[in-house]
Amino acid sequence: MKILIIEDDEAILDMLKRGLEDEDFVVDVSSTGEDGEYLASTNHYDIIILDWMLPQKDGIEVLQNIRKKGVLTPVLMLTAKDTTDNKIEGLNNGADDYLTKPFSFDELLARLHAIYRRSALSGNNKIVIDDIEIDIDSKVVRKNGKIVDLTAKEYELLEFLIANRGSVVSNEMIQEQLWNSEEFISSNVIQVIVYRLRNKLSKSLIKSKRNLGYFIE
């Protein structure tokens, strides 16, 4: 799952990035509204974590702008403001969820999962394809009831393909999804991951379309 965090406080940003990466999220960060807005409208993210109180361009403004540009990525607002009015303002401006500081990291994770389920997986937390069963919340994959040991990237790719089930996902999209914008990978890394996934799960699960990418039917 790829996440963009827009937050001006370095300590919070650092904590979130480290914590989420530790949970196998792919994280991009921005400490200003301006940069955040640019990243949000040029890259694909599964969820944007957006701080309300930003210098210059505040969170609400960023939210309004990216929604105007047609970016439908779910947004979780993060703020110290905790009145009902604030929450309503945030939600009315296009936020999908709202978390007040100081928050519990576990709750943040749960909410991120919930948002992701709602937006990408239409609310399911268990996906079954043939004899393969994927538990989104615990990130556990079973084949014929037996747990299959996947690396973070393998799991991420599988989840991404399922989220986009039925449509072809390009190498670029996968690269963008599985790695943050500062990381550079060689082109065959994705190929290797697909190969391993096929070996671990089933040869026919992930299909290739020449020069276009991969898909799950």
Partner 1 sequence: MNEHKENLKSIVLWWLGTFVALLLIIFNTIFYEMLKYSFYNRVENSLAIVANQTKDNFEPSKDKIVTIPQKLDYPISPVMIAVFGANSMKMVAKTVTFMDIPLYQYIKSNENFFIVKTKKYGKLAIYISRIISPIKGYIVVATPMYKIDIKLQDILIKMLVLNPILLFLLLLGANLIIDRILKPIKEITEVANEISVGDLDRMIPLPIQKDEIYDLVKAFNKMVARLRNGIEMMERFNSDVSHELKTPLTVLKGELEIALRKDRNCDYYKNTLQIALKEVNYLIDMVEEMLFFTKIENEISQKEVLELDKILIKTIANLKTKANNKKIDIKIQKLEEITLNSNKFLIQNIFTNIIDNAIKYTPENKSIYIYLYQTYDKVVFEVIDEGIGISKNEIDKITERFYRTEKSRNRNIKGFGLGLSIVQKALEVLDGEIIFESEIDKGLKVTIYLKK
Residues in the site for partner 1, rule: CB under 8 A?
8-12, 15-16, 18-19, 22-23, 31, 53, 55-56, 80-81, 100-106
Query: Taking the complex as a whole, how short is the minimal distance between the CB of residue 41 and partner 1, in angstroms?
Result: 23
Query: Taking the complex as a whole, how short is the minimal distance between the CB of residue 117 and partner 1, in angstroms?
Result: 21
The residue (of 149 and 217) whose beta carbon lies closer to partner 1 is: 149
The residue (of 98 and 160) whose beta carbon lies closer to partner 1 is: 98
The residue (of 32 and 43) whose beta carbon lies closer to partner 1 is: 32
Query: Taking the complex as a whole, how short is the minimal distance between the CB of residue 52 and partner 1, in angstroms?
Result: 11
Query: Taking the complex as a whole, how short is the minimal distance between the CB of residue 161 and partner 1, in angstroms?
Result: 27
Query: Taking the complex as a whole, how short is the minimal distance between the CB of residue 60 and partner 1, in angstroms?
Result: 16
The residue (of 34 and 133) whose beta carbon lies closer to partner 1 is: 34
The residue (of 7 and 46) whose beta carbon lies closer to partner 1 is: 7
Distance CA 169, CA 172 (A): 8
Q: Which of 104, 94, 1 shows the shortest CA–CA distance to 50?
A: 94
The residue (of 8 and 96) whose beta carbon lies closer to partner 1 is: 8
Instruction: Mark 132-161 as b/e (b = at least 16 C-beta within 10 Å).
Output: bbbebeebebeeeeeebebeebbbbbbbbb
Query: Taking the complex as a whole, how short is the minimal distance between the CB of residue 35 and partner 1, in angstroms?
Result: 14
